[in-house]
Structure 1
Amino acid sequence: MSEALQILKKYWNHDSFRTPQEEIIDSVLNGHDTFALMPTGGGKSICFQIPALMQKGICLVISPLVALMKDQVANLQKRNIKAIALTGGIKSDEIIDLLDNCQYGNYKFLYLSPERLQSDWILERIKNIPINLIAIDEAHCVSQWGHDFRPAYLKIAHLKSHFPKTPFLALTATATPRVKEDIIKELELENPQCFEKSFERKNIAYMVFEIEDKLFRIQQILKKNPQPSIIYVRNRRACTDTAAQLNSLGFKTTFYHGGLATKEKNKNMQLWMQEDVQVMVATNAFGMGIDKTNVKTVIHIHLPENLENYYQEAGRAGRNEEKAFAILLTSPSDIAQTENQFIYILPDKSFLKEVFIKMCNYFQIAYGEGINEKYSFNLNQFCHRYNFPVLKTYNAIQFLDRQGVISLSQEFSEKITLQFIIPSKEVIRYISLNPNDEEIVLAILRAYPGIYDTQISLNIPFIAQKSKHTETEVQTVLEKLKEKDIVDYHSKNNDTTLLFNEIREDERTINRIAKYLENQNKLKKEQFEAVLNYIKKDDCCKSQLILEYFGEKKTNNCGICSYCISKKEKKESKISISKKIVHLLKTSDLNSREIQSELNNPSDDIIFALQELLENEIILIKPNNKYSLKQ
């Protein structure tokens, strides 16, 4: 047994490597710069963790994702492997101690973000650490054509001059051919060994269905496949609402989104991992480090922003190599809604400049000043003051963060979290006894329908505006509700901390980064067009469409996607379906849902048959929307 395999067995209890893990490990051990494209679930981390453990020294892992860094460090520490992550919020003196530990404490892994490398003093300390491998995770971030470009990645190549004999390992799960070229060029990989695992997942049936009643179709899917499932939704409200609907229909369901407290996230995660519940309804915050092999179905009920994200989320199904389903449910209104969600909120250069100038004015930063100044920042208050749209402003500020103009210490969060802890009928009783509070309480209930089920982040300026009261009056009512044990109410002082990394130079700053903004907006529009192509193109295998997007050519159809299945199915004559419907209605009156549940035919064919039967006056529709045979 090779040393690499012994380490795999000792720490991870696996008896063999997946393709092409072993080849990547050998390449790194032989000192080659290496590029590895391994789709979701391919086991990328093993490719740098094992060679690092086989050599003296420490592996430097550069990653943009704090959650992933923490997750990997925790997993290594569980295996008694010494690892450190320099995440945000760590004070300078603590960083010095941690780097001393790396130099003298026999640590094997140092995780940090690319932005950390931009601090000269941190770079100086790293130069003195015996680094045996530099692993760049999420390497597509170095490409402005990648779906998550971060300019700080462009500085990683500078490490070459300090560690000329240390191999670079660039890892990514999603890269088109253009992005791959960019990664090799921008990281200055020298004659890299390239390993690309196919994006093909032969056991996943990619399904696209255009339907009006998504909840009904979800019921059908979950009944047919009672194994663990994930349902991805676009936002937190849809997350709690969908989970509540499924629970009311008898499906054991929990939910996960970025606004939950860590304790609740972990609790809900364990319920699903241990299969105490069948369904996890989640936003894209769910998925980091998830290693559950027997997920049968992944359902998206909103259009994804791009195929990169969709492929990663869909790929959480079927990791046990058994047949699984990646299902995308669409309706005619989805395209317009998604354009509003992703395309129309992209900031252009003039809006970006306006946000930046107003932000500097907000903190009273004079021209030519502001570098290294730190402020507490609340997004909703800022938007309320200047009448900015929140999502578009968030995208502008996030872009400034990615360009290194500013640094955000954490995700945006609200000051107030709230949950009603008494039944709705008791809340109505309270309103009748306290009419002065009615407008505020009703504004909250209308804005946050899931507020009986979970703690909701409350936007005070929004509620004040909707109820036509002042923010102070809203907070007074909340305090009163808390005193009477009507709500669980928490006021948090955890606004985002915002650090200015440059002096204020309005035109110069924005002009320097504008080209990246234009490229980003163009890319996002192209990516959304690819999503539309995926859902609309009805004369091609869905698996082939995904492979083609990632630069793979395949001539054979998968045989299991929605297109291939529809092609296989013998089109049953409309007369035959009509006969089935007439036979059913001889027993009892039924509505369209009940008929669809009884028959195995596509819903469009059933609706067509029903219309013909109505026109020919063979059946009639009653006031209760049930079909009946005409006497």
Structure 2
Amino acid sequence: MQQALDILKKYWQHNTFRTPQEAVINTVLSGKDAFALMPTGGGKSVCFQVPALMQPGICVVISPLIALMRDQVQNLEKKGIKAISLAGSLSVDELSNLLDNCLHGNYKFVYLSPERLQAEWVAVRIKQLPVSLVAVDEAHCVSQWGHDFRPAYLKIADFKKMLPDVPFLALTASATQKVQQDIITHLGLKDPAVFKKSFYRENIAYMVFETEDKLYRIRQILTKHPEPSIIYVRNRRACHDMASQLTAMGYTATYYHGGLKEYEKEANMQLWLKDRAQIMVATNAFGMGIDKPNVKTVIHIQLPENIESYYQEAGRAGRNGKKAYAVLLVNKSDVQNARNQFINVLPDKDFLKKVYNKINAYLKIAYGEGTGKTYAFDFNEFCTRYGFNPVKTYNTLLFLDRQGVLTLTREFYQKVKMQFIISGREVLRYISLNPSDEPALLVLMRSYPGLFDMETAVNTVMIAKKAGIAEGALLGLLQKLQKKEIISLQLSGTDSSLIFNEVREDVHTLSRVSKYLLRQNENKVNHLEAVIRYAFDESHCKSRIILEYFDEQTDTDCGICSYCITKKANVVPADVVANAILSTLRTAPLGSRQLQEQLGFTSKDTLFALQLLLENEKISITPNNEYIII
């Protein structure tokens, strides 16, 4: 394995392999199929990139994540290794030219999506390449029981039959026992060598804290642990808000989400990677390919969609082997909020039928036509015209995309981007001098309060409707404001496009995919319920809950999670806490947070004792939320 170590050192600057990288590499070099379950941070890409560089020919990498493909291609090119991605909206001619380049351009890696292989001519052309290895990343997508099922993965088995002598390596960071078996079966792996790395992270303390004041608890955590941290939030707006709040408190914070320009993402990333910003506030768009060893805390302030995602995001802490913390902050309202976000916006069969039929009407696609054509698609206008809930409609289109019925670009809400470049006071002065522009400007400011802080994507159909003007008139106003240097403005021709991958056949198409819709919805409900159990179960070790979710059994508690710490702590009798509170309140009225800080009891013990004192009419609470002795 000296050659493999030399390659590892030359391109990745590591002197040794992690377990089980070396064993996986030896297996595929011997020509055998392999399945590797390597939790986040395990270095999956090395398992196919090193053996590909050790032998002649091309490694084909199948992945559903365009951003990850782009990231890996860029990283390989920076190392001087030729790689190419076949992702994106490419015409047949463009794709054919790229495949010609693969054949004659000395490329070592070709990245493509499983949907790309559904075109038989593409699979045939790839068969003509000198393929030495096929790596199937995110292999859990082949299982209908996984958290991210994509039917196109089921076609990979046909592609494997076209390359009978080429080893296939299936890789995933998270899969239950049932999903693991599906991967081996549905990909058609031949007697594969199976490598599993334990999900147990002995240095990560999984902490769940129930709190009404999440910002205060975040401040406590970051002050106690001033090392690099990640805070995961729900949406782009929350990224900016949280980063601003933390900066105002004196912390160094930056942010990352899918709406940033590439140079902004890179600049913010470098601030954090080079420790010029302690905290990265991010949506789940952040994390692919990130390996910062000294992350001390990863904090989630809302319930995640599933345990798989949470485990991967939490696992970005403590990669240097030192003790680290994965913190989930919750309160009772989070459960309903999560159900509203993840479950109540799932389409049912009737809604699927409505959206599919209206898309065909909207784009004027006749029955039996449409296949292979690309259509400009205004998502905002479509939802407004038919009165569809945008989130539910997006989930419907995403489902049709994953079923291979159509392909959509995800550029929603980007038709118009704008930002005020003068102060709010100056905007109000402009309105007083131009009263005819007042309705639209007031609607804009009320609908998008962040317009003064950041460039924001604006739904012009909605704004025009609320302001009672035509969309064209609104666009004219925005262009006028741009010329007067009141706003910065970006206009793009449309907000998305749809590519139909098959002809319009209403009954046939919908009956074929609706069974997957029912299973998808059932899976999503089950996945969220598992998260809720993890968050609110107070009788089991948090680490064991995660391990058991992934079918990894253990009889030993971790000893460092929030449950284990509470169990080991000396139980303070409620009357002791209550008496201490009464003694302290004789000096001055105090809030619950001040009492907790002064007395050193846990939040749970403090609040329980306060509730007892209130019920027994020993104390009362003032309008300022301070407690006083009666």
TM value normalised by structure 1? 0.95
Residue of structure 2 in register with 1:337 after alignment: 337
CA spacing shift, 1:624–1:520, aligned 2, 3 Å: closer
Residue 350 of structure 1 and its aligned partner are, at CA, apart by 1.4
1:298–1:314: 8 Å Cα contact kept in structure 2? yes
CA spacing shift, 1:467–1:158, aligned 2, 3 Å: same
Q: Give CA deviations for 1:422-468 in whole Å, capped at 9, x if unaligned.
A: 23333333334444333322322222232222111111122233334
Sequence identity (%) = 58
Residue 626 of structure 1 and its aligned partner are, at CA, apart by 3.7
Residue of structure 2 in register with 1:440 after alignment: 440
Residue of structure 2 in register with 1:52 after alignment: 52
Residue of structure 2 in register with 1:370 after alignment: 370
Q: Which moved more, 1:418-427 or 1:198-207?
A: 418-427
Residue of structure 2 in register with 1:488 after alignment: 488
Residue of structure 1 in register with 2:319 after alignment: 319
CA spacing shift, 1:248–1:470, aligned 2, 3 Å: farther
Please list, as runs of the form range in 1=range in 2, the aligned pairs for 1:86-485 lying within 5 A after superposition. Answer: 86-485=86-485
Residue type of the alignment partner of 1:205: A
Q: Which moved more, 1:409-418 or 1:175-184?
A: 409-418
2:413–2:458: 8 Å Cα contact kept in structure 1? no
Q: Which moved more, 1:440-449 or 1:44-53?
A: 440-449
Residue type of the alignment partner of 1:524: K
CA distance in 2, matches of 1:225, 1:417: 38
2:592–2:626: 8 Å Cα contact kept in structure 1? yes
2:409–2:497: 8 Å Cα contact kept in structure 1? yes
Residue type of the alignment partner of 1:528: L
The SS at the match of 1:227 is coil
Residue 484 of structure 1 and its aligned partner are, at CA, apart by 3.0
1:132–1:166: 8 Å Cα contact kept in structure 2? yes
CA distance in 2, matches of 1:70, 1:586: 64
Q: Give CA deviations for 1:467-526 in whole Å, capped at 9, x if unaligned.
A: 344323433432343233222221122421211111111111100111111111111111
Residue of structure 2 in register with 1:553 after alignment: 553
1:413–1:494: 8 Å Cα contact kept in structure 2? no
CA spacing shift, 1:224–1:149, aligned 2, 3 Å: same
2:151–2:402: 8 Å Cα contact kept in structure 1? yes
Which stretches in structure 2 are left out of the alignment for 5+ residues?
none
CA spacing shift, 1:464–1:322, aligned 2, 3 Å: same
1:157–1:186: 8 Å Cα contact kept in structure 2? yes
CA distance in 1, matches of 2:110, 2:550: 31
Residue 616 of structure 1 and its aligned partner are, at CA, apart by 7.0
CA spacing shift, 1:592–1:434, aligned 2, 3 Å: farther
For the pair 1:33 / 2:30, whether they are aligned, the reply is no
CA spacing shift, 1:438–1:627, aligned 2, 3 Å: farther
The SS at the match of 1:450 is helix
Residue of structure 1 in register with 2:15 after alignment: 15
CA distance in 2, matches of 1:418, 1:599: 50
Q: Give CA deviations for 1:129-175 in whole Å, capped at 9, x if unaligned.
A: 11111110000111111111111111111122221111110000011
CA spacing shift, 1:372–1:102, aligned 2, 3 Å: closer
CA distance in 1, matches of 2:168, 2:494: 38
Residue 575 of structure 1 and its aligned partner are, at CA, apart by 4.0
CA spacing shift, 1:533–1:583, aligned 2, 3 Å: same
Q: Which moved more, 1:574-583 or 1:325-334?
A: 574-583
2:377–2:494: 8 Å Cα contact kept in structure 1? no
CA distance in 2, matches of 1:159, 1:373: 25
Q: Give CA deviations for 1:112-142 in whole Å, capped at 9, x if unaligned.
A: 1111112232222211111111110000111
The SS at the match of 2:59 is strand
CA distance in 1, matches of 2:267, 2:593: 36
Residue type of the alignment partner of 1:43: G
Residue of structure 2 in register with 1:81 after alignment: 81
1:260–1:455: 8 Å Cα contact kept in structure 2? no
CA distance in 2, matches of 1:368, 1:332: 50
Q: Which moved more, 1:561-570 or 1:577-586?
A: 577-586
Residue of structure 2 in register with 1:594 after alignment: 594
Q: How many residues align?
A: 630
CA distance in 2, matches of 1:464, 1:337: 29
Residue 593 of structure 1 and its aligned partner are, at CA, apart by 2.6
The SS at the match of 1:451 is helix
CA distance in 1, matches of 2:509, 2:621: 66
TM value normalised by structure 2? 0.96
CA distance in 2, matches of 1:64, 1:458: 29
2:413–2:459: 8 Å Cα contact kept in structure 1? no
Residue of structure 2 in register with 1:534 after alignment: 534
CA distance in 2, matches of 1:618, 1:347: 52
Residue 294 of structure 1 and its aligned partner are, at CA, apart by 1.0
Q: CA RMSD in A?
A: 2.0
CA spacing shift, 1:583–1:423, aligned 2, 3 Å: farther
CA spacing shift, 1:100–1:522, aligned 2, 3 Å: same
CA distance in 2, matches of 1:247, 1:197: 39
Q: Give CA deviations for 1:516-571 in whole Å, capped at 9, x if unaligned.
A: 11111111111111111111211000100000011100110001111111101112
Q: Give CA deviations for 1:269-298 in whole Å, capped at 9, x if unaligned.
A: 122112221111111111111111111111
CA distance in 1, matches of 2:135, 2:128: 18
Residue type of the alignment partner of 1:7: I
For the pair 1:566 / 2:566, whether they are aligned, the reply is yes
Which stretches in structure 1 are left out of the alignment for 5+ residues?
none
Q: Give CA deviations for 1:296-344 in whole Å, capped at 9, x if unaligned.
A: 1111111111111111111111111111111111111111111111111
Please list, as runs of the form range in 1=range in 2, the aligned pairs for 1:588-627 lying within 5 A after superposition. Answer: 589-612=589-612, 621-627=621-627
CA spacing shift, 1:576–1:428, aligned 2, 3 Å: farther
